[in-house]
Structures are given as C-alpha cells and as structure tokens.
Amino acid sequence: MDPTRIEHYRQRLLAMREELEAFAETRADSSSTVELDQTRQGRLSRMDALQGQAMAKAGEERARAGLRRIAAALARCDTGDFGECLECGDPIAEKRLDFDPSVGLCIQCAQAREE
C-alpha cells in the first residue's frame, strides 16, 4: 500500500483511539458499584441502576476491544503490514479500510470466520 494512504489510515486510527479513550473516561462513572441500601432507593430503582451498570460495563468492554484492534492496526502501520489480511495475506479492499481502518481481515476471511 502507498505510504501516503497508510499515513491517512494512521491518522484516522489515532483519531478513533482518542475518541474511544474519551468515551471510556466518561463512562467510568456509570459502572460504579450500585449500593444495596433499601433506605436510599427502592427495589425498582436499584434494578434500573443495576441494568444501567451492566450496560455501562458492556460498553466499556466494547471500547477496550476497539482500542486493542486499533493498537494492532497501528502496529501493522509501523511494520508495513497494514492493509494485508492477517489470514491469507491478500490486500484488504480500501472500501473496507475506509469503513473501519482497524480491520485485519479481508472480507472473504472475515466471512469464513463467521460461518
């Protein structure tokens, strides 16, 4: 892949990483421990709080997974492997990279993994 295209994707990856890190910081408060003090809140309010906490933790895990994918893609930019499928070695379509530059598989290998 052309070095200018790799740099373009690197900049997008850095912006994505910054956005996910900011998201993780703002969501940290939502996943704090829910107090089980009956005098402070009713049972339904506590159930809502527990559900909100579970959703926040799931969001945090998705953000961490995204950060891992981005870090791996940035490493591939440094080694010169960016844009090559990790499974078959074929080039990943630029339309796919334009949609999500953190992907490491071509569409065929990604579909094969899903099956």
User: Would you list the DSSP string of 51-97?
Assistant: HHHHHHHHHHHHHHHHHHHHHHHHHHHHHT-TTB-TTT-PBPPHHHH
Per-residue pLDDT, 37: 54
Q: Is pLDDT above 60 for 35?
A: no
Per-residue pLDDT, 76: 97
Token couple for 111: 């579909």
Q: How far apart are CA 72 and CA 102, in angstroms?
A: 8
With contact defined as beta carbons under 8 Å apart, do 88 and 109 qualify? yes
Q: How far is CA 62 from CA 21, 50, 85, in A?
A: 12, 19, 22
Confidence band for 114, pLDDT divided at 50, 70 and 90: very high
Token couple for 11: 């900049």
For 55-73, the pLDDT digits (tens) are 878 888 888 999 999 999 9
Mean pLDDT of 25-44: 59
Domain boundaries, the chain: 3-114
The three-class DSSP label of residue 9 is: helix
Q: How far apart are CA 35 and CA 81, in angstroms?
A: 48
Q: How far apart are CA 2 and CA 77, in angstroms?
A: 11
Q: How far apart are CA 25 and CA 27, in angstroms?
A: 6
pTM of whole model > 0.85?
A: no
Q: Taking the domain 3-114, which CATH number applies?
A: 1.20.120.910
